[in-house]
Amino acid sequence: MDGMAGTSSKLTWAVHISAVLLVALWLFPTVGLLVSSFRTADQISSSGWWASVFSSEQRTVIRTVDPDDFRIEENSAFAVTGDLFAADEEKEVIAWGTSSREVEAYAPGDLVDLGDGESITVDSEGTYSWKGNEEQLSGRGKRVFATVVSPPDFTTDNYERVLFSGDSTDGMAKTFFNTLTVTIPATIIPIVIAAFAAYALAWMQFPGRAILIASVVGLLVVPLQLALIPLLQFHNNIGIGKGYLGTWMAHTGFGLPLAVYLLRNYMVGLPRDIIENAKVDGATDFQIFTKIIIPLSFPAMASFAIFQFLWTWNDLLVARVFLIDATGETTVMTNQIVELLGTRGGNWEILATAAFVSIAVPLIVFFTMQRYLVRGLLAGSVK
């Protein structure tokens, strides 16, 4: 609508800026988790994740090596040389000092006279050289107050630990496959059952059809909380107890109203001519359904499949009630994360990585199939 009468350029700018702010606000939390999952525990606890993307500036106090052990004698004078940082650290000194009152007194490379012939110099890479007589260079190492810039530093160790270590408390590999095992049958089976029912509700004439459609609409909003205890009792009575089978059945039952509703709405909109022509040509209902309706309804089935996939993948309640038994062998990812929140509340590197592993798959599905998701949402709620 840019350039339309009534919209000034000032307003256009305001729109752009507000949109940028809104998007940034919505993206910020997820980015925080992603960045944190690539940092070490020390990094996470020493600075906020937003600081890690830039080079960070820190003030530290570092002691030189012990002069009694490392001093070298040259021409009756003594010298201690070394590096403030470990060999693999890419840090840079931008200012330094020798007293806590003046921590940024000198620039890198300055040779500082400490009186009576004692001197010290520190260059930008952290190498230092401390010179003096025997008495001056004894006792403990000299304190150097350094202002240090460290480059952004990321690691994939957390992912290795969470995915490949096989650790039973932190490891997510097993729960990943458990979640997948719950999700796939729980997504496919309701589609098949619902497709037949939706065809009957859309294209067959029989008494009671209107009531059935109305009950599907009603069941759409029944909270699944009501079903927990009665179904658990039912599963125990028929002997399947807690396990995958019961979970698949529960997800199928809970997903069916939406599946029937979405597919029926879509099938009603298919062109009547095709179906009637096929009937005239002698096709049975079963043939019409498999040869015509199913291929044409693919978009609606994809929409529902995405919903059901996201819902079953992200579910915690159904898994806790119908799947996870005392052995904990069948824990799903959401439950594992809740457990980690309890046992490892402070270990953000593990939590962030585990959480990101669990949301990665839904995010991939979301970004690749967004079209179908939006279509399903519009069909499912705008009446």
Of residues 63-92, which lie at the interface with other proteins (CB under 8 A)?
Answer: none
The residue from 105, 245, 270, 302 that contacts other proteins (CB under 8 A) is 245
According to the binding rule CB under 8 A, does residue 234 interact with other proteins?
yes
According to the binding rule CB under 8 A, does residue 240 interact with other proteins?
no
1-40 residues in contact with other proteins (CB under 8 A) are 1-2, 4-7, 11-12, 15-16, 18-19, 22-23, 26-30, 32-33, 36
* Run of H or E including 191: helix 173-203
Smallest separation (angstroms) from other proteins to the CB of 198:
8
CA distance 117 to 325: 75
Please spell the DSSP secondary structure of 41-85, one letter per residue: HHHHHHS-HHHHTS-EEEEEEEEPPPHHHH-EEETTEEEEEEESS
Size of the site for other proteins (CB under 8 A): 120
In the block, tokens 């919903």 appear at 307
According to the binding rule CB under 8 A, does residue 166 interact with other proteins?
no
Smallest separation (angstroms) from other proteins to the CB of 316:
5
Report angle CA 54, 156, 91 to the nearest 5 degrees. 40
Nearest CB to other proteins, comparing residues 72 and 220: 220
The residue from 149, 189, 283, 292 that contacts other proteins (CB under 8 A) is 189
Smallest separation (angstroms) from other proteins to the CB of 145:
18
CA distance 126 to 148: 9
Nearest CB to other proteins, comparing residues 292 and 377: 377
The residue from 177, 272, 291, 328 that contacts other proteins (CB under 8 A) is 177
Q: Please provide the distance, in angstroms rounded to a whole number, between the alpha carbons at the two ends of the chain.
A: 27
Encoded one letter per residue, x for contact with other proteins by CB under 8 A and - for no contact, window 273-312 reads -----------xxx--x--------------------x--
According to the binding rule CB under 8 A, does residue 248 interact with other proteins?
yes
Residue 317 — φ and ψ, nearest 5°? -65, -50
97-116 residues in contact with other proteins (CB under 8 A) are none
CA distance 194 to 215: 14
Smallest separation (angstroms) from other proteins to the CB of 377:
6
Q: Can you tell me whether residue 220 is helix, strand or coil?
A: coil
Among 144, 108, 101, smallest CA distance to 125 is for 108
According to the binding rule CB under 8 A, does residue 193 interact with other proteins?
yes
Q: Do 167 and 174 form a contact (C-beta atoms < 8 A)?
A: no
Among 313, 308, 299, smallest CA distance to 363 is for 313
139-158 residues in contact with other proteins (CB under 8 A) are none
According to the binding rule CB under 8 A, does residue 172 interact with other proteins?
no
